Amino acid sequence: MFPLSLAPYDQVMNSLLLVPFFLCVAAAAAVPLAGDISIRTTNQLTTANVKPGDSWVGHVAQDMTRDGEVVVKRGTPVTGIVVDVSTPKDKTPRASLSIKLLAVGADTVDTNAHRAEGGLAGSRPVAKVTGWGATGAFFGTLLGGGKGALIGAGAGAGLGGLRSLSREKVDAVIPAETLLTFRIKDGATIQ
Query: Of 33, 25, 24, which is closest to residue 73 (Cα–Cα)?
Result: 33
> Quick one: which H or E segment has residue 77?
strand 77-86
Specify the pLDDT at position 34: 80
Specify the pLDDT at position 146: 59
How far is residue 191's CA from residue 189's CA, in Å, rounded to a whole number? 7
Q: Give every CB contact of residue 67 below 8 A, 6+ residues apart in sequence.
A: none
DSSP string, 116-176: EE--S-SSHHHHHHHHHHHHHHHHHHHHHHHHHHHHHHHHHHHHHHHHHTS------EE-T
pLDDT (tens digit, 9 = 90+) per residue, 33-84?
788 999 999 999 999 899 999 999 999 999 998 888 898 999 999 999 999 9
Specify the pLDDT at position 74: 96
Does this model's pTM top 0.85? no
pLDDT (tens digit, 9 = 90+) per residue, 124-160?
555 544 555 455 555 555 555 556 556 655 655 555 5
Work out the mean pLDDT of the chain and round it to a whole number: 74
Class of domain 32-119+170-190: mainly beta
Compute the average pLDDT of residues 108-129.
71
Q: Is the pLDDT of residue 25 over 60?
A: no
Q: Is the pLDDT of residue 26 over 50?
A: no
